[in-house]
Structure 1
C-alpha cells in the first residue's frame, strides 16, 4: 500500500490525522530518556520528537520496508541520524533488545497505527510490556466519533475504509484493560467530538 502513498503521505495526512502534535507536546520525555514510536511510518513524528526533546534517544519500528526507507531519508535530511534509530519489526511481537539494544523505553508512542493493524489489542499489550518503570505509552487514533453528525461519520468511515483504516471504537476500554493487566494507570481523552482518542498508560 505504501510503496506509492509514502511519497504523499505527510502532505495529505496532516489534514485528518489530528492530535499528533498535541501528543508529542504532552510526552514530557525525561532528560536523557528513550522514546520508541511503533508504526513510525515516514519518520515525521520521530523527527519532531527529536527536535522537541533534544536530549532524548529516539527509536522507530515499522513493518513496512518502504516506509522505513522514506523515514531514513527524512531523518538524514533533518541531520538527526545519530539520535534516531530505525528497525523493521512486527508491532504485535518484537524484541527491542535485539533491534535497538535496550529492553524498555521511557515513552512509547503509537500514532494512528492501531486502526491499520487487525490484532491491534495485541499491539497495545506488547507496547505496555516494554515500558520502563515510570514510563508512559501514548496512543492517538481514530475513535468512535460519537459526537459527530451521522452524515459526517458515514463519509469519514467510507473514506478511511478506502485506505484499510478501521476506527477503534473500543480503544478506551482496551486501554483500561491493558493498563489493569499491567498494574498501570490509564487516562483517556476523547477529542474533536470523538473523532480521535488520546490515551495514556502510565506505569
Structure 2
C-alpha cells in the first residue's frame, strides 16, 4: 500500500471529493455522546477525522491505516488543523485490529468506514471486528460504492472497470454480510442505497 500511495497521497483528497459521495453525510450522522470515542477504520489522510472532529468537538477521535505513507500525510494534516490533542493515529490492519493494543481502549462509541471496504481484501473481518468493539449504545457506520441498481448498465461497467484498475472492488455482498453480523452479535441493522445505487449506506447498532 505504501508503494501505491507514496505519490498518490499528495493529491488523494482533491481527486476523491468528486466521487466519494456521502462521506460528510455519514459524519453528520455519527452524533457521538459527549466525551465519546469515534474510530475510523482505514483513515487514509485523516480528511474524514478532521471534518468529524470539527463537527463533533466534544468527542475524541482515533484512526488507523495500514499505509505508513498515508499516515505520514495524516499526521501532518492533523497537526496543521490544530487537532493533535483530539485525534490519535496508529498503523494497523483493518482485518485484525485491536483497539486496546492500538489506542488503549476497551470499546468505542462509534466506528465508521468510509470507502474503505471496497479497497481491503479482509473487508468482512473489518465489519465483524468493528461490531465487536462497539460499546453499549454504540454504532457502526458505513458508506461505500453501491451496485448501480438504478443507473445505466454501461455507466456501471465503465465505472467499475476504472475502480478495478485501482484495486477497488464494490462489495455486492455487503447487505448480506451486515445482516449476518447483526444476527450474530444481536445488533440492529440499517441499509440504504443512495443516488440510485451509486453508493450504499449501512450500519449496525448495539442496544
- Shorter-chain TM-score bucket reads over 0.9
Which position in structure 2 is the counterpart of 1:59?
62
Aligned residue among 190, 197, 205 for 1:202: 205
Which position in structure 2 is the counterpart of 1:156?
159
Q: Per-residue CA shift, 1:106-133, capped at 9, x if unaligned?
A: 0001000100111211110011111101
Distance across 2 between alignment mates of 1:165 and 1:98:
29
Measured after TM superposition, the shift of residue 79 of structure 1 is 0.2
Query: TM (normalized to structure 2)?
Result: 0.96
Which position in structure 2 is the counterpart of 1:178?
181
Which position in structure 2 is the counterpart of 1:8?
11
Aligned residue among 94, 98, 102 for 1:99: 102
Structure 2, unmatched stretches of 5+, are none
Distance across 2 between alignment mates of 1:23 and 1:176:
20
Contact 1:95 1:103 in 2 (8 A): no
Contact 1:144 1:170 in 2 (8 A): no
Distance across 2 between alignment mates of 1:110 and 1:180:
20
Distance across 2 between alignment mates of 1:143 and 1:58:
27
Structure 1, unmatched stretches of 5+, are none
Measured after TM superposition, the shift of residue 161 of structure 1 is 1.1
What stretches of structure 1 move > 3 A for 4+ residues in a row? none
Distance across 2 between alignment mates of 1:21 and 1:96:
24
Q: CA RMSD in A?
A: 0.7
* 1:109 pairs with 2:88: no
Measured after TM superposition, the shift of residue 102 of structure 1 is 0.6
Which position in structure 2 is the counterpart of 1:144?
147
Q: How many residues align?
A: 203
